């Protein structure tokens, strides 16, 4: 299972008093990497090292000859003192990548400044995941009202109305609480805060209005903005972005959603739960095409039963506004008529303020290496702006890594291979790793295990007995390649799967654990067991 770490037991006990080679360095197998001794003992810099194997010795033993350490791995001379307007790190952007980078840099002893043009927290907190989850909770509550009578809860009336003013105000309260929390954390860590658009210059200065500050390192965390398409009629005021719809205080009778990705599906479900006639238009052959195909198809089936109309393999060619409504002409010759439309075809990096930098780009994204460093040494670009994984929690890790590398030289890589992703519909969908289609293309012979929530005790008791967990593993070592969930608490359970994969546990090792009962996560355990044909609550696999 590709495990290459092993513990080496020291022959003597003691206190670690000197480290010769730090984390990430390549060292010959016979070379001293550290010293043990008595507390307070000092090892002189000129202490004799144990004899190292020569290059010829290593080659004769079939071992790799290590390259000379890179310049950024060699011990640096003490740094000169910082001027009053100078910082170890200037972070441009206060979203997930930015505020994580700023706080991590401060934790490491750096003098840090952060520049933010609007509210802290970025897209996720202000215009994305947090507001959307607030609204999706409303949809979940409404689902609960529909099943209350069947559970013996007799309501005086099942009639209800939606107060959009209160809905938006509550969402704004949630957002304000969290943005204030982020700013409080920055102040507590003594990060200097600059409000305004930061114009970044090649000499590592940043201009905010009439003020200019200088950084030894710059972290560009400017995030992303809503992507747009150039079709006739797209500029109609009745066509909204995800930014606009979250502040909508009047409920439309009908809504056309252009784009069946995560944002379109989540917001479409919110409005469908309010009784709005929702039609989703997606160019791919299924919604959220990055998901495992079987999961995507199951979600589409469930959402259709909830009243959403979903059109796939078709795009919008023109939008016509007339009589205060829209007619969306589709490229298959059909039409969709709606009071309003939501444009949700993804996001693109936000480059405003970075125009003076001649950065190497990958299409419209800032190109970075594994250390999150751009083509300009000392300038890093974590988060959405590099387009690697446009998820807030991936941005957290990239920002943290960028700050550590800015403070200590390039010592840490951002490993995003096992980043989980979730869709907060009802039921939820979540995934980590690769899909079954990708696994078959890459590995050929694979093992697939599944278990359904329909037989899970807690799911049945909660009226949430729909969906399944699917585990993909390689046939030889039972290494886990992907986990896919559609069902209750999927977004929570996927974190366990991500930890399992990051720790390189095999299916066999995972099955040594015990999962509590009754819990939703028993379904994931049984899906792992089904990989080997050992699931207790599944029919026997055919030989």
Considering all CA atoms of the chain, what is the largest pairwise distance in Å, rounded to the nearest integer? 87
- Under the banding of pLDDT at 50, 70 and 90, the label for residue 2 is very low
- Under the banding of pLDDT at 50, 70 and 90, the label for residue 27 is confident
Domain for residue 142, yes or no? no
Rounded distance, CA 180 to CA 99, Å? 12
Per the structure block, which two tokens stand in for 155? 């309501």
Domain for residue 410, yes or no? no
Rounded distance, CA 217 to CA 372, Å? 12
Which of 403, 474, 420 lies closest to 102 in space, CA to CA? 403
Q: Using the predicted structure, report yes or no on whether residue 9 has a pLDDT greater than 50.
A: yes
| DSSP letter string, 503-536 | TT-BHHHHTTS---SS-TTHHHHHHHHHHTT--T
Report how far apart, in Å, the C-alpha atoms of 28 and of each of 67, 126, 493 are.
Answer: 10, 50, 41
Pick from 286, 313, 345: which residue ends a domain?
Answer: 345
Pick from 69, 86, 115: which residue ends a domain?
Answer: 69
Q: Which residues pair with 148 in a beta bridge?
A: none
Per the structure block, which two tokens stand in for 355? 């125009």
Which one of the listed residues 217, 393, 517, 537 is annotated catalytic? 517
Domain count, the chain: 3
47-56 — which CB contacts under 8 Å span 24+ positions? 49/20, 52/28, 53/28, 53/29
Domain for residue 401, yes or no? no
Domain for residue 404, yes or no? no
Domain for residue 49, yes or no? yes
Domain for residue 113, yes or no? no
Domain for residue 327, yes or no? yes
Least confident of 61-65, 299-303, 492-496: 61-65
Whose structure tokens read 């030889």? 476
The three-state secondary structure class of 162 is coil
Q: What is the mean pLDDT of residues 442-470?
A: 96
Residues sharing a CB contact under 8 Å with residue 201, sequence separation 6 or more, in sequence order: 207, 356, 357
Rounded distance, CA 220 to CA 376, Å? 12
Express each pLDDT in 166-191 by its tens digit.
Answer: 999 999 999 999 999 999 999 999 99
Percentage of the chain exceeding pLDDT 70:
91
We report the CATH number of the domain holding residue 272 as 3.50.50.60
* Contact of 312 with 285, CB cutoff 8 Å: yes
- Quick one: pLDDT at residue 206? 97
Which residues span the domain enclosing 48? Answer: 1-69
- Quick one: pLDDT at residue 8? 64
User: Are residue 337 and residue 426 in the same domain, yes or no?
Assistant: no
- Quick one: pLDDT at residue 173? 95
What does the DSSP 8-state code read for residue 445?
S
Per the structure block, which two tokens stand in for 436? 């079954």
Pick from 300, 321, 345: which residue ends a domain?
Answer: 345
Q: What is the mean pLDDT of residues 294-308?
A: 95
Domain for residue 2, yes or no? yes
Q: What is the mean pLDDT of the chain?
A: 90
* Contact of 471 with 279, CB cutoff 8 Å: no
Express each pLDDT in 430-447 by its tens digit.
Answer: 999 999 999 999 999 999
Does the annotation mark 408 as catalytic?
Answer: no
Beta-strand ranges (E) seen in 384-439 are 421-423, 428-433
- Under the banding of pLDDT at 50, 70 and 90, the label for residue 260 is very high
What does the DSSP 8-state code read for residue 394?
H
* Contact of 424 with 282, CB cutoff 8 Å: no
We report the CATH number of the domain holding residue 440 as 3.30.390.30
Express each pLDDT in 43-82 by its tens digit.
Answer: 876 554 444 455 555 455 555 544 544 444 444 445 678 8
- Quick one: pLDDT at residue 243? 87
Spacing of C-alpha 84 from chain mean position: 36
pTM of the model: 0.83
């Amino acid at each position: 299972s590709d495990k290459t770490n092993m513990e080496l037991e020291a022959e003597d006990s003691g206190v670690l008093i000197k480290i010769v080679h730090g984390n990430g360095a390549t060292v010959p197998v016979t070379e001293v990497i550290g010293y043990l001794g008595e507390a307070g003992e000092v090892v002189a810099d000129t202490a004799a090292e144990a004899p190292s194997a020569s290059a010829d010795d290593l080659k004769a033993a079939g071992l790799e000859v290590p390259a000379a350490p890179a310049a950024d791995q060699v011990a640096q001379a003490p740094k000169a003192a910082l001027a009053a307007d100078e910082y170890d790190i200037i972070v441009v952007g206060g979203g997930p990548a930015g505020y994580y980078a700023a706080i991590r840099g401060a934790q490491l002893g750096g003098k840090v400044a952060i520049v933010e043009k609007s509210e802290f927290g970025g897209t996720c907190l202000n215009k994305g995941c947090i507001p959307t989850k607030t609204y999706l909770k409303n949809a979940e509550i409404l689902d609960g009202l529909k099943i209350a009578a069947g559970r013996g809860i007799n309501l005086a009336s099942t009639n209800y109305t939606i107060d959009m003013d209160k809905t938006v105000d509550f969402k704004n309260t949630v957002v304000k609480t969290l943005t204030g929390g982020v700013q409080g954390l920055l102040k507590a860590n003594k990060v200097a805060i600059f409000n305004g658009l930061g114009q970044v210059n090649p000499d590592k200065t940043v201009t905010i209005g009439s003020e200019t500050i200088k950084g030894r390192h710059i972290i560009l965390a400017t995030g992303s903005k809503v992507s747009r398409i150039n079709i006739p009629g797209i500029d109609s005021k009745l066509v909204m972005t995800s930014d606009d719809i979250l502040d909508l205080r009047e409920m439309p009778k009908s809504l056309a959603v252009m784009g069946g990705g995560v944002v379109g599906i989540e917001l479409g479900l919110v409005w469908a739960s309010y009784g709005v006639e929702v039609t989703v238009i997606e160019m791919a052959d299924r919604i959220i095409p990055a998901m495992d195909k079987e999961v995507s198809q199951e979600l589409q089936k469930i959402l259709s039963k909830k009243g959403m109309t979903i059109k796939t393999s078709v795009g919008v060619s023109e939008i016509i506004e007339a009589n205060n409504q829209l007619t969306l002409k589709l490229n298959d010759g059909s039409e969709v008529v709606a009071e309003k439309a939501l444009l949700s075809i993804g996001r693109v990096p936000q480059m405003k303020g970075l125009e003076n930098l001649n950065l190497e780009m990958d299409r419209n994204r800032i190109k970075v290496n594994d250390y999150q460093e751009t083509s300009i040494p000392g300038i890093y670009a974590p988060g959405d702006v590099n387009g690697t994984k446009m998820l807030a929690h991936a941005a957290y890790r990239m920002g943290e890594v960028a700050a550590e590398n800015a403070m200590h030289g390039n010592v840490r890589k951002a490993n995003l291979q096992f980043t989980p992703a979730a869709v907060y519909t009802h039921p939820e969908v979540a995934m980590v790793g690769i899909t079954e289609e990708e696994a078959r293309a890459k590995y050929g012979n694979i093992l697939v295990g599944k278990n359904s929530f329909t037989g899970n005790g807690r799911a049945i008791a909660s009226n949430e007995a729909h969906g399944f967990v699917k585990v993909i593993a390689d046939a030889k070592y039972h290494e886990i390649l992907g986990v896919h969930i559609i069902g209750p608490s999927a977004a929570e359970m996927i974190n366990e799967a991500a930890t399992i994969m990051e720790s390189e546990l095999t299916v066999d090792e995972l099955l040594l654990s015990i999962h509590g009962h009754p819990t939703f996560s028993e379904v994931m355990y049984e899906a792992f067991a089904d990989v080997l044909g050992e699931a207790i609550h599944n029919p026997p696999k055919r030989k």
